[in-house]
Chains A and B, each alone.
Chain A
Amino acid sequence: MKVKEQVKNLQPEACEAPNMQESKEGLLKYLIIGILFGTVFVKAEIISWFRIQEMFRLQSFFMYGVIGSAIAVGALSIQLIKRFKIKSLKGDEIKIPKKEFRKGQVIGGLIFGLGWAVTGACPGPLFAQIGSGFTVVLVTLLSAIAGTWVYGKFSDKLPN
């Protein structure tokens, strides 16, 4: 075990290390987690355009409760993982990439917020809406992919 750890330490710290390519079988678990996640989205009606309208009109506590309690549970789990140095199932140390501040979080954040109130969906619910039978949202998704592409194309020319 110790030797294994030492060998690991000798390897260069590649920034891509935590996201190793997975085998087909390895990918199946993400499909299952995704299915459960999509089920929650639909069953709690988070995918609904109406819920997002209620949220931005401050007329319902529902979405604030969802996002707030999700953050609380996420934060508590990360603290537990850190405190007890819990390793991933493969035995490697849990790594959380650091987010650097950029102007994009302000400008891009604002643009996303505008779009969120129009489509009634952040990227996750977009997929769940399509699965729920609102097939026209495929167009929204394609347009979101196009928006991502345009950002990538001009990213070095935008203030950052």
Chain B
Amino acid sequence: MEQLIAWISQPWPWYVAGPLIGLTVPVLLLVGNKSFGISSSLRHVCAMCVPANIPFFTYNWKKEMWNIIFVLGVLVGGFLATTFLSNPDTIVVAESTQADLAALGITDYSKLMPAEIFNWENLFTAKGLLFFVIGGFMVGFGTRYAGGCTSGHAIMGISSLQWPSLVATIFFMIGGFLMTHVLLGPLMKLVGF
């Protein structure tokens, strides 16, 4: 048993994780005829808590409760995996990435997220404004405007051979490349890294 846990606690390779994520598509379809998608949960939270008579949020969100329960499960899964199956070693990151990030002032690899960015002390600073507030806003606004995220478009949409999802995924990637290679450096300098 201990050996098994030690084995599971290693970081899982992509060819294990990817197919498991892909299996979510048929599992959700077969279990309840649900289409895999995560960003919709954010819309359901709006519909549930602050619909404000906006037509986009006035629908029967109770029917979509499964989606909210699903993402709560993702949160719980994150907690359980970190608590009981945590990898004792530090994360292995490509050396070239480490070199690039060092130039931006990111050198702490003790956790899965860089401690220099993701800590509560940064909340009311320019760093927090960029990484939590603006970043989060773009994720929420962008996914809803695009009608889905990596799960709904890149995985569910492309899997079901829908070309608009391929277009969306291409633009997700373009946005990511643009931020990483052009904007992130100057922005990080601006907020004090």
Q: How far is the CA of A150 from the CA of B73 in the complex (A)?
A: 26
A43 touches B12 (CB 8 A): yes
B69 touches A69 (CB 8 A): no
**What is the total number of residues of chain A having a CB less than 8 Å from a CB of chain B?**
123
B32 touches A115 (CB 8 A): no
CB contacts (< 8 Å) of B162 on chain A: these are 98-99
B126 at the interface (CB under 8 A from A): no
Q: How far is the CA of A65 from the CA of B52 in the complex (A)?
A: 42
A107 touches B145 (CB 8 A): yes
Contact partner of B151 among A115, A122, A131, A133, CB < 8 A?
Answer: A122
A148 touches B176 (CB 8 A): no
Question: Contact mask A46-68 → B, CB, 8 Å, 1/0?
Answer: 11111111111101111101111
A113 touches B179 (CB 8 A): yes
Return the chain A residue nearest B36 by Cβ: A74
Say whether, besides A37-B24, A65-B18, A27 and B65 are in contact (CB < 8 Å).
yes
Q: What bracket does the count of chain B residues touching chain A fall in?
A: 35 or more
CB within 8 Å of B: which A46-97 residues = 46-57, 59-63, 65-75, 77-78, 80-81, 86, 88-90, 92, 94-97
Say whether, besides A61-B14, A109-B146, A131 and B139 are in contact (CB < 8 Å).
no
Return the chain A residue nearest B101 by Cβ: A53
Say whether, besides A31-B73, A40-B21, A118-B134, A109 and B78 are in contact (CB < 8 Å).
no
Interface of chain A: mostly helix, strand, loop or mixed:
helix
Question: Contact mask A100-130 → B, CB, 8 Å, 1/0?
Answer: 1110111111111111111111111011111
CB contacts (< 8 Å) of A59 on chain B: these are 94, 96-97, 100
B97 touches A43 (CB 8 A): no
A30 to chain B minimum Cβ distance, whole angstroms, is 4
Say whether, besides A86-B30, A122-B150, A105 and B164 are in contact (CB < 8 Å).
yes
CB contacts (< 8 Å) of B54 on chain A: these are 149, 152-153
B132 touches A143 (CB 8 A): yes
Say whether, besides A105-B146, A109-B168, A73 and B19 are in contact (CB < 8 Å).
yes
Q: How far is the CA of A38 from the CA of B138 in the complex (A)?
A: 22
B175 touches A112 (CB 8 A): yes
A110 touches B14 (CB 8 A): no
* 20 A-B pairs in the complex with CB atoms less than 8 angstroms apart: A27-B65, A34-B72, A39-B85, A47-B112, A57-B97, A57-B180, A62-B14, A70-B18, A96-B35, A111-B175, A112-B138, A113-B175, A114-B179, A118-B135, A123-B143, A127-B74, A128-B77, A130-B75, A139-B128, A143-B136
The 5 closest A-B pairs by CB, nearest first: A34-B73, A113-B175, A38-B77, A108-B145, A131-B78
Chain A residues proximal to chain B, CB less than 8 Å: 16, 18-22, 26-57, 59-63, 65-75, 77-78, 80-81, 86, 88-90, 92, 94-102, 104-124, 126-137, 139-153, 155-156, 158
Chain B residues proximal to chain A, CB less than 8 Å: 8, 11-36, 38-39, 41-43, 45-46, 50, 52, 54-57, 60, 62-67, 69-82, 85, 87, 91, 93-94, 96-97, 100-101, 109, 111-114, 117-120, 122-123, 128, 130-151, 153-165, 167-181, 183-184, 187
